[in-house]
Chains A and B, each alone.
Chain A
Amino acid sequence: MTVSLTNMPFITEKMGVPRGVAVEFPFSMIWGRPGDRLMERDIMQHMLDAVETIEKPGTIIELPYTWPEEDFRKRDWFPKEPTPWMSSQDAINEMLEFMQHGDPLE
């Protein structure tokens, strides 16, 4: 039995997970900023509660937490090294071709 924590419910909905919990937090800190133990516990409790409250497969519960504006301005979730598929025009073109005609199950 699973509960999924997602920051991209747009995708999670398409995948069709049994039980989901969504937060508007960035990648690299989906459970909250480093050291924010209270936030980790709150999110975890919501996930445990979801086991007992979600009755319909595919349900995603959205949590009301927001990323503080002063933290948003830091934009410190981006990797310092460019991701490989964005590192050259050839790589970008290969990705665009995949997005248009690729088989994700390959």
Chain B
Amino acid sequence: MAVDSFKFMPRTLAESMKVWPYVDTSSEDIPWTAPSKPVKESKVALVSSGGLYHKDDRSFDLDRERREPLWGDPSFREIPRGISQEEIRVAHLHYENSHALEDCNCILPLAALDEILDEGRIGGISDYHLAFMGYQPRLGTFIRETVPRMAERLREMEVDLVLLSSG
């Protein structure tokens, strides 16, 4: 890999990430869904692990993480398609939040998505995007409960293509 995964981390954090107890998926086939339609006909949703939420929604629970540092809030939030920058809130203790509070597009590119829809490069945009808080050392609840609920929600909105990104 030419991309340096650890370029922006302090050395101690980088070393810990190299020995992290990742979930071992080496014996499993990588999931694969073939495109059911051309991209230009596909409805697209964004899913972000950046801890974004609407100002009228609940924050992610950072106080509990402060009390229990190996716990991360495993829930997710829905971000309305037309949300304004002023309505965006961010709750994530593992990256600097101020950039997203200045312009959420640097972690949730809503404006670019609108532009490529206007240009006919995609077929539609889902009514809601999804966000969760990506610090999840213990993944059990997140994998067993949150991920299936997010997938179901995306199916309900008849999303064809999900663009996932981190915070």
Residues 47-82 of A, flagged 1 when their CB comes within 8 A of B and 0 if not, give: 110011000011010110001000000001111110
Most B CB atoms within 10 A — which of A9, A44, A63?
A: A44
Most A CB atoms within 10 A — which of B29, B30, B106?
A: B106
Contact A62 B8 (CB under 8 A): no
Residues of A within 8 A of B3 (CB): 7, 9, 22-24, 62-63
Residues 3-34 of A, flagged 1 when their CB comes within 8 A of B and 0 if not, give: 11111111101111110001111111111111
Residues of A within 8 A of B5 (CB): 7-11
Question: Chain A: how many interface residues by the 8 Å CB criterion?
Answer: 68
- Main secondary structure, interface of A, reads loop
CB distance from A63 to the nearest CB of B (A): 8
Contact B99 A1 (CB under 8 A): no
Report Cα–Cα, A14/B97, bound state, in Å.
27
Question: Chain B: how many interface residues by the 8 Å CB criterion?
Answer: 68
Contact A37 B105 (CB under 8 A): yes
Contact A95 B69 (CB under 8 A): yes
Report Cα–Cα, A33/B106, bound state, in Å.
6
Report Cα–Cα, A95/B2, bound state, in Å.
29
The residue from A5, A28, A48, A91 contacting B39, defined by CB atoms under 8 A apart: A48
Contact B17 A47 (CB under 8 A): no
Say whether B88 faces chain A, with CB atoms less than 8 Å apart.
Answer: no
Residues of A within 8 A of B99 (CB): 28-29, 33-34, 76-77
Say whether B157 faces chain A, with CB atoms less than 8 Å apart.
Answer: no
Say whether B84 faces chain A, with CB atoms less than 8 Å apart.
Answer: no
Report Cα–Cα, A14/B159, bound state, in Å.
26
